[in-house]
Amino acid sequence: MEKPFHRFSELFAQLGLRMDEAEIRAFLQTHSPLPGDVLLADAPFWTPAQAALLREELQEDADWAEVVDQLNAALRSPAGER
């Protein structure tokens, strides 16, 4: 069975964040770069529910895991580039 494709913006919606391009860019610029020793789900800017969602999606290798990995990479880059 093929995994569904999720857009980067859809992950923001799942997290309860604004999903338009300008808001995503602003979020990434505000929170980047995430230090290498901080797991994505442990970043201080997530609510407990957001952190749980990110953690679960990665642990279960769910269909959102690929886009969560993209978010992780974007937050690690100096300017929040994706």
Give the pLDDT band (50/70/90) at residue 82. Answer: low
pLDDT of 2 over the 60 cut: no
Say what the pLDDT of residue 1 is: 45
Give the pLDDT band (50/70/90) at residue 61. Answer: confident
CATH number of the domain where residue 41 is located: 1.10.10.1130
Contact 40, 68 (CB under 8 A): yes
Whether 25 is covered by a domain: the verdict is: yes
59's tokens: 């642990």
CA distance 72 to 11: 12
Contact 57, 23 (CB under 8 A): no
Q: How many domains does the chain have?
A: 1
- Is this prediction's pTM over 0.85? yes
Domain extent at residue 22 = 8-76
Whether 46 is covered by a domain: the verdict is: yes
